[in-house]
């Protein structure tokens, strides 16, 4: 078991430098955590997935939530996404990831993991 853990830790930097293999996903994550990307540009990058005005409004609210966060929080989000993608790769073939991310809407935006 210790050997498996060591091998996973050794593989992590290689995996992280290789990326997720999905440049579109990486761009969406990057745009989400980049405070210099405007809401209009963010919406334009997701346009093919927006099917209604309600979806547009939800994306705008999500974007505003991220824009209110500190740079440190945005960096931590990016790190979390790398770890999350890595754990999903490890769990493939074992029933998939059992983690569920839920967002709670309130005066302040935060994510419960």
For 72-95, how does the pLDDT look when each residue is reduced to its tens digit (9 = 90+)? Answer: 988 888 888 777 766 655 555 444
Q: How confident is the model over 28-56, as a mean pLDDT?
A: 89
Q: What is the DSSP string of 49-110?
A: G--SHHHHHHHHHHHHHHHTS-HHHHHHHHHHHHHHHHHHHHHTTTT------EEE-SSS-E
Distance between CA atoms of 100 and 113, rounded to whole angstroms? Answer: 7
Q: What pLDDT, on a 0 to 100 scale, did the predictor assign at position 111?
A: 41
> Hey, which of 26-35, 36-45, 104-113 has the most confident mean pLDDT?
36-45
pTM above 0.85, yes or no: no
Per-residue model confidence as pLDDT tens digits over 50-75 = 899 999 999 999 888 888 989 898 88
């Amino acid at each position: 078991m210790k050997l498996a853990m060591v091998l996973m830790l050794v593989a992590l930097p290689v995996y992280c430098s290789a990326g997720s293999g999905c440049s579109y996903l990486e761009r969406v994550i990057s745009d989400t955590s980049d405070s210099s990307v405007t809401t209009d540009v963010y919406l334009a990058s997701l346009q093919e997935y927006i099917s209604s005005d309600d979806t547009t409004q939800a994306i705008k609210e999500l974007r505003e939530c991220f824009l209110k966060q500190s740079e440190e929080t945005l960096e931590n989000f990016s790190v979390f996404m790398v770890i999350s993608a890595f754990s999903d790769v490890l769990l493939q073939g074992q029933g998939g990831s059992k983690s569920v991310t839920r967002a709670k809407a309130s005066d302040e935006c935060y994510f419960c993991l």
